[in-house]
Amino acid sequence: MTSTTTAPGVVRAATTATYAAFIGSGFAFASWASRIPQVRDRLELDASALGLVLLAIAAGSLLALPLSGPVVSRIGSSRTVMAMAVLLGVGLSVAALGSLAGVVPVVIGLFLLGFANGAWDVAMNVQGTVVERHLGKSIMSRFHAGFSLGTVAGALVGAVMVAAHVSVAVHLVIVAALVVTGVVWQARRFVADHDESEQGAAGESAGGSALDAWKEPRTLLIGLFVLAFAFTEGVGNDWISVAAIDGHHVSPALGTLAFAGFLTAMTIGRWFGPGLLDRYGRTAVVRVLAVIGIGGVALFVFGPSPVYAFAGTLLWGLGASLGFPVGMSAGGDDPRRAAARVSVIASIGYCAFLGGPPAIGFLGDRVTVLKALIVVAALLAMAALIATSVRPLPGSALGERVES
């Protein structure tokens, strides 16, 4: 399905711009993350103090996510991404320069960074659903693969900056300027979130529609579905290396390699997933991936040797790949309610990103981190059971020929 009012060239430009928004977000966030050790040393923070400082990012994101639905509904995804890119650039610069002065400016900068990142995330996912509708095919997971590539690029550039002894302030201020300039320029090419025929209905009550979305059973189920996959992804990011080293007694280098395998498998799944989604439909694909993920976690936890554990990380990454982006697509099936629903789903899902890793750590103190990872398999089983929640709405072009 292509839009009757939007030229193919405009849609192609919007597709490129959406990739730029996802890549830019990942690049900026990974750039900051790559310099955390230097900021910690500069401010002489111990582990608990550093954890409290980093909590400012989570606080900003948690505040922004539920508020972003009304904002995107009112001013559109393009203006929201542009405004949040500027705010993120300010926050990143304040945190970078603030590291020269003390903890307080760093906390302020990270709060702004987290707030901007949360609202930016919702807005770019809303635009992703718009582009999907215009193209008539599932490409949301490729946008998320772009985010993954952005994080890899940010981490690699950060490693070069550390090796070259470039200061945190210089590095991150330059990153902020580049990201703001590139993303603002690209976001101007987004297509409208609604067709003209939908504008009136969409704009009637932005705040009310956002509040109503929290009462919709389908939206809440999708949020729970996304939470399970976000937990699967977040725990993999934070604990695979530790579990491989401590549980399977591999070297730190091999532990990092296992983590790299997880990321690679997840990125491959996101890049090649759209063809499967268009052919077999959302529900069938995510259920199969959930089962693959369960098998991967089981192989990683119970595998008799590191070879089995490494194979498990690949299956785990593949299984985790499409759940989050498919949930975002499902939230955007109705363009009139996309911003509100994506905001709710993202708010629920990000609770897992923020709370999942500490939960595994708490449980790991009692049963070992390796055995604690079984929780991931249990949540994936739940996701498989409620996977019908992501089935396209009646009349939705995406997937209706295989799920109607």
Q: Residue 326: give its domain's CATH number.
A: 1.20.1250.20
Asked if residue 238 and residue 182 are part of one domain, the reply reads no
Asked if residue 19 and residue 154 are part of one domain, the reply reads yes
pLDDT of residue 2: 41
Asked if residue 316 and residue 239 are part of one domain, the reply reads yes
pTM of the model: 0.81
Do the beta carbons of residue 131 and residue 191 sit within 8 Å? yes
The answer to whether position 198 is within a domain reads: no
CA distance 107 to 188: 31
Q: Which of 193, 228, 259 is the C-terminal boundary of a domain?
A: 193
Asked if residue 265 and residue 174 are part of one domain, the reply reads no
The domain in which residue 19 lies consists of 8-193
pLDDT of residue 214: 87
Which one, of 238, 246, 255, lies nearest residue 320 by Cα?
A: 238
Which one, of 326, 319, 333, lies nearest residue 133 by Cα?
A: 333
C-alpha 260, offset from chain centre: 18
Asked if residue 227 and residue 178 are part of one domain, the reply reads no
Asked if residue 148 and residue 45 are part of one domain, the reply reads yes
C-alpha 266, offset from chain centre: 12
pLDDT of residue 400: 47
The answer to whether position 179 is within a domain reads: yes
Q: Which of 193, 227, 249 is the C-terminal boundary of a domain?
A: 193
Domain count, the chain: 2
Local mean pLDDT, 10-residue blocks, the chain (404 residues): 62 94 92 85 80 83 86 90 96 94 94 93 90 87 90 86 91 96 95 64 47 88 95 84 86 81 89 92 96 96 93 95 93 84 87 77 83 94 96 69 47
